[in-house]
Chain A
Amino acid sequence: MSVREIAGKTVQFDEEGFMVNPDDWSKDIAVELAQEIGIKELNEDHWKVIEFSRADFIEKGEAPTLRRITKAGGVPTKDLYKLFPKGPAKKVALVSGLGKPTGCI
């Protein structure tokens, strides 16, 4: 567990770099976290995924699986892997301020 300054806020992170409290999230934080994991810029397709994930988390109480982002969020699998290459499940959760994904799909 660590606490650090990011985009002007003091935020708590777990050992793997995921935000502990989703309410601490802001769009500026998302931009910085994305840069830290090698995504230089967030375009509107990235935001579509992030916004869907956060809204779904609020509605369902858990972060959506990649399959749900594809089916309910309308983002095809191929696009997800292009937007968040090599490990989209973790990357989407990290940038969206949600906890580490635990699902198998």
Chain B
Amino acid sequence: MEENGDRKLCIICSKGSLDMAYPGLVLANAALMEGIDVTMFFTFWGLDIVNKKKMNNLKATPLGNPSMGMPNVVGMLPGVTAMASSMMKKEIEKLDFPPVDEFIEMIHDAGGKLYGCRMAMDMMKLEKEDLCESVDEVIGAMEFMEMSDGAQVLFI
């Protein structure tokens, strides 16, 4: 069995919708399961993924999203986004994937390092206490650059 001893993966999560949060989480966890070192950097809307108040209420909207196949005139109706989000959450659950808060904790327990972006947090008036416990620190972009030296970087 080949070892992935030195491999490092850095994932930058910049989106906060349900359909953009899960890819980062799944990839981070899969990498950890393969023995790859993982760092996640949450910036802008990605902070919602680790925001205590928002992490389990992420939404997926058909409005303005050509991939969901619903005309905007329907997508904009009250309740449609909530319904689409709830349907997506159910599908995710059926596949035995955890909800966001549990997923983040799993990644943290598996050794993944999670960081909030200082700039985005300042912009959104967030404090470290607003983020879940699994977040290690709040760091700036330059620190992230140092950390990601030699790593494969993914921007979501």
Contact = CB atoms under 8 A, between A and B. Distances in A.
Contacts of B32: 81
A68 B106 CA distance: 12
Contacts, number: 52
Contacts of B4: 86-87
A101 B33 CA distance: 10
**A interface secondary structure, majority:** helix
Interface string B24-59: 001001101111000000000000000000000000
Contacts of B1: 16-17, 37, 87, 90-91, 94
B35 A87 contact: yes
Nearest to B27: A104
A87 B33 contact: yes
B34 A81 contact: no
A78 B106 CA distance: 8
B103 to A, nearest CB: 9
Interface residues of B, number: 20
B111 interface: yes
Contact of B109 (A17, A77, A89, A101): A77
A22 interface: no
B3 interface: yes
Contacts of A77: 105-106, 109-110
Interface of A: 16-17, 37, 65-68, 70, 76-78, 80-81, 85-91, 94, 101, 104-105
